[in-house]
Structure 1
Amino acid sequence: MDIYNISEIEIELRATSDAACGNGINALLDSKKISIEEFIEHREKYAEDFIRFSHDGFKGAQNRIIKNILLIQDEQEVVKQNLKKARVERNKEEIPELINKKKHLENIVKLFKHCADALVWQLIQGQL
């Protein structure tokens, strides 16, 4: 994922949130070749498979979140060092550009943290 390409970030965030919040039902319906109506009608029969598919989605979402946040944190460190260097050199052209990159990276991390929040909410089933 190019962390400066909004389209790629959006695709990754969608895939992550889908895994965190919708993988169980979608994977179950696809694998069993059943409709949502049939699932609702016979949910006891499919409960174990639904839980397994949901947990697989949670694991996938967790891995995506960690992978992307680590990637962004590596880039944040590079930007931080470059910003420090630009300030020492008083490079008035580079400083605003690097500050914008820093803010962009912070916002992307926040978005992935929101995906993690959604995942936790799914796990605790809104018990708060």
Structure 2
Amino acid sequence: MNWLLVVVGAMAGAPLRYLTDRAVQSRHDSVFPWGTFVVNVVGCVVLGLLTGAAAAGAAGSRLQLLLGTGLCGALTTYSTFSYETLRLAQDGARSYAALNATASVAAGLGAAFAGVSLAGALW
């Protein structure tokens, strides 16, 4: 029944990604893909918190399947990040493409480390 936990998490993560992406992007008048950037960073924080909680014994494997694999797997999107970065470069917005690639990786890693650190402080 582990697969069901993944499915339930993904059923929440996919619409949450779409709705968050649209809400964030509608507030910015820029070609920069803010919506994808936000969902990916939020997903990194959540996964960092979950990883830290699991390391401290505060989260079990079922919660990891539900939130880590299911929710975060559907919430975050490496393929859309890659596509949008490529699209920016092809459309002549090379500085935005470079900024998206650099900022996404840096912010994602920073968010994951912050999540792990926060979990360590909580548990």
Output the TM-score relative to the length of structure 2: 0.43
Of structures 1 and 2, the one with the larger relative CO (CA 8 A, separation 6+) is 2
Output the TM-score relative to the length of structure 1: 0.42
The structure that has the greater radius of gyration is 1
